[in-house]
Amino acid sequence: MYGTIGLWFIVTFLIIGEPIMGVLAYRRLKAGTMTRMRMYRMTLLQEWFLVGLTMAIFLADHVPLRNIGLGTGHYSVLSGAFGGLAAGVIFGVLVTMVLSILSGRRRTRTISMGRPIKIGNFDFLLPSNRAEHWTFAWVAITAGICEEMLFRVLVIYVLQHQFPSLSWGMIVAITALIFGMAHLYQGWIGIVGTGLLGAVLAIIYLTTGTILLPILIHMLSNMRGLVLTNGRSYRDVEM
């Protein structure tokens, strides 16, 4: 009973608290009342705390690791359409990273001529110096691990156990919506983009039974931001 309440508390925070805190933090960052480094550290602390609390509840309730995506899974199902989908996502991210490295000098010349390329609603989040660069790398890795454990493993676990009649399609749609709204600070484009990514990752997780591949894809997607900056003028490089 207490375990279920605890899991619902965390899910409720993901649905309500995460979007609100994200918007408030982003506003403070743009207003100059919060530094990027402070926000990075707060993100690291918050996400690992939530994952630690989630895992503590799972372990206290004696939930088998394979039931929360930490088993070996069954990758044979990826030989078909879902395999092509996963491979396509990974390939697309890797190609973007390589092209970003190769085009780094041209981007820098464009920026140095005083014609910055606007990013969107999350340009202030990108690192602007070497210290922020490495901390952001840890944030990217952390988000890849923690957000998959929270938005995929936890949310899907709760939905499947509390609403067993839900179809996979409904579960994917609900988790995608929750994940997209968690990125409310990025605007509607960010919500739709992250929501679609969340749907793909949820499908891969439900299909393989392991969260390891979604974590890898998520981390690669996050690390793309670092490669796109290519160690130069981070905030003025197009994403």
**Long-range contacts (CB closer than 8 Å, 24 or more residues apart) made by 136-140:** 136/36, 136/40, 136/225, 136/226, 137/223, 137/226, 138/40, 138/44, 139/40, 139/43, 139/44, 139/222, 140/219, 140/222, 140/223, 140/225, 140/226
Tell me how far apart the alpha carbons of residues 14 and 179 are, in angstroms, rounded to a whole number.
8
8-state DSSP, 64: -
Structure tokens at 111: 């920026």
Secondary structure class of 7 (helix, strand, coil): helix
Give me the mean pLDDT over the 83-100 stretch. Answer: 56
pLDDT per position as a tens digit, 28-49:
988 888 899 999 999 999 999 9
pLDDT per position as a tens digit, 55-86:
999 999 999 999 999 987 776 655 555 555 55
Contact 10, 158 (CB under 8 A): no
Query: What residues have CB less than 8 Å from 87, skipping those under 6 apart?
Result: none
pLDDT surpasses 80 at 12: yes
Tell me how far apart the alpha carbons of residues 209 and 160 are, in angstroms, rounded to a whole number.
13
What are the CA-CA distances from residue 120 to residues 9, 153, 155, 185, 236 (Å)? 32, 30, 29, 11, 10
pLDDT surpasses 50 at 157: yes
| pTM > 0.95: yes or no | no
Contact 236, 116 (CB under 8 A): yes
pLDDT given for residue 162 in this prediction: 94
pLDDT given for residue 194 in this prediction: 92
8-state DSSP, 36: H
Instruction: Name the residue type at position 96.
Output: T
Going by pLDDT thresholds of 50, 70 and 90, the confidence category of residue 220 is confident
